[in-house]
Amino acid sequence: MTIAATTPDEAAAIVRRAAAASALWRTSSIGDRVRALTAVADALDAHADALIDQAQRETHLADGRLRGELLRTSFQLRLFGEVLDEGTWLDARIDHADAGWPMGAPRPDLRRQLEPIGPVLVFAASNFPFAFSVAGGDTASALAAGNAVVVKAHHGHPELSALTTRIVQDALASADAPDGLFDTVYGTDAGVQALKDPAIQAASFTGSIAGGRALFDIAAARPQPIPFYGELGSVNPAFVTRSAAGARGEEIVQGFVASVTGSAGQLCTKPGVLLIPADSGLESLLAAARLPAPAPLLNRSIADGFREALGATASHDDVSILAGSPAAEGDPAPVLLKTTAAALRDDHENLISEMFGPAALIATYDDEAELLAVAEVLDGQLTATVVGSEDDAVARDLIPLLSTKAGRVLWNQWPTGVSVTWAQQHGGPYPATTSVGTTSVGTAAMARFLRPVSYQNIPDALLPAALQDANPLGIPRRVDGVMTTTA
């Protein structure tokens, strides 16, 4: 790479500056933070052409896809500004003193809010060079929550990381944010060193199961273990009922193929397994589906990993090729493999496994009960999809069962294209994520970088603004157990 690896001394200094900046930033007003996030969003938009130009050179992703991703990136910075203003993120709770509290002892005056967790280390992803990288959702939500951020750049796009870092730093400076609030380190060693630095109080990661688990283990083994919010891997199975297959075969195949091959299949929510009725005609539609031309993947290690995963699944005794062909050389072509639901259930450890790239495994079933049997053996997933009709009896069992396996359950839509909203959930049971109670996309992502503090019997003038009697921030609060809104 053309950007030099960060030396141990440099990495230590960056974390030290981040810790100092974090101590200042935690006391910043909501207005200060909104101004800073908006300045970063504006700066990204203003530099769109240069950013996209550099991103294309390093990631091979298409111009349109990258422009959409950059729009999403600045949008989510502004959305966290809205979230900050609205104030529910503080989870402010006030319990007034109550001498008659039925616990058997008087209740003191207790007031609780969420406060910044401290400096956050963000491991950037390869496949979203904007939205899950230097200025992505983790950075946005950690800054919004009042913390300094150190990014460990992904080796797949170092120049873009450096360019983005300069843009973010200039924008933060223009908004009078503290020096050192945001910086980037390069190289695996610098990332691991930062993860072990006592000043870092939380880390986030998007990437592979092996890499994420290794970092999770380091975070857990620290003298002071810290939360590690890792989004690792997901197969995102989709279940087509018999009635849906009969009614909308063409539409299902078209939507599925587009979802599998978009961004050359390099999306963490790509539907990697599709269950279809054996006798529905869907199989022949899939076999005849027009697949996109071979396209370069993000980088060589992604391409090697894809070939290996595809090869392992394709060489399974119960698997054959349905469409496309695994290319030994050159850019990978999209491939659809074929097996049965029974094989999937019986050897789920080998067959239900992520192939990060343009491939998926189609599994045929004879009886809709097999859908439940496969759902039952699933590991944790980011998403699970049901393609069905509202009166399908199997849907009534399948949806609640899938909700125990996945963070997001979809109906008649495809899981790629993760919308940034209040109700989004991007994260599921392990190995989808290492932290099952959290999301890395959507407004709830801020909660990862906050911790609760209660204040007991503290005079109004010494309380944080969110907890003062007069509610100077004008935010929704829970008062004596009752949610109050300001609307």
Catalytically annotated residues: 231, 268
Binding residues for a second copy, how many (CB under 8 A)?
96
For the segment 385-414, give every residue that binds a second copy (CB under 8 A).
390, 395-396, 399-400, 403-404, 406-413
| H helix or E strand, kind and range, residue 143 | helix 137-144
Which is nearer to a second copy, 103 or 293 (by Cβ)?
Answer: 103
Give me the least distance between CB of 22 and a second copy, in Å please: 10
CA atoms within 13 A on the CB side of 468: 11
- Nearest of 333, 336, 192 to residue 256 by alpha carbon: 336
For the segment 185-224, give every residue that binds a second copy (CB under 8 A).
201, 216-217, 220-221, 224
Instruction: Using the rule CB under 8 A, give the single segment among 177-185, 319-327, 342-350, 472-480 that binds a second copy.
Output: 472-480
The phi and psi torsions of 10 (rounded to 5 degrees) equal -65, -45
Contact 360, 314 (CB under 8 A): no
User: How far apart are alpha carbons 487 and 468 in whole angstroms?
Assistant: 19
Q: Does 476 bind a second copy (CB under 8 A)?
A: yes
Which is nearer to a second copy, 191 or 380 (by Cβ)?
Answer: 380
For the segment 430-449, give every residue that binds a second copy (CB under 8 A).
430-431, 434-439, 443-444, 447-448
DSSP 107: B
User: How far apart are alpha carbons 92 and 112 in whole angstroms?
Assistant: 6
Which is nearer to a second copy, 13 or 399 (by Cβ)?
Answer: 399
Task: Give SS3 for 450.
Answer: strand
Considering only residues 453, 469, 472, 474, which one is a binding residue for a second copy as defined by CB under 8 A? 453
Task: Give SS3 for 233.
Answer: coil
Which is nearer to a second copy, 339 or 425 (by Cβ)?
Answer: 425
Contact 256, 416 (CB under 8 A): no
- Residue 387 token pair: 């393609």
3-state helix, strand, coil in the chain (%, to 5): 45, 15, 40
Q: Does 280 bind a second copy (CB under 8 A)?
A: no
Considering only residues 10, 42, 45, 115, which one is a binding residue for a second copy as defined by CB under 8 A? 115
Q: Please state whether beta strands 110-116 and 450-456 pair in parallel, antiparallel, or not at all (unpaired).
A: antiparallel
User: How far apart are alpha carbons 475 and 98 in whole angstroms?
Assistant: 24
Give me the least distance between CB of 470 and a second copy, in Å please: 17
Contact 229, 202 (CB under 8 A): yes
Considering only residues 24, 209, 214, 455, which one is a binding residue for a second copy as defined by CB under 8 A? 455
Give me the least distance between CB of 2 and a second copy, in Å please: 31
For the segment 15-74, give every residue that binds a second copy (CB under 8 A).
23, 26-27, 68, 71-72
Which is nearer to a second copy, 276 or 446 (by Cβ)?
Answer: 446
For the segment 355-384, give every residue that binds a second copy (CB under 8 A).
380
For the segment 72-101, give every residue that binds a second copy (CB under 8 A).
72, 75-76, 82, 86, 88, 93-95, 101
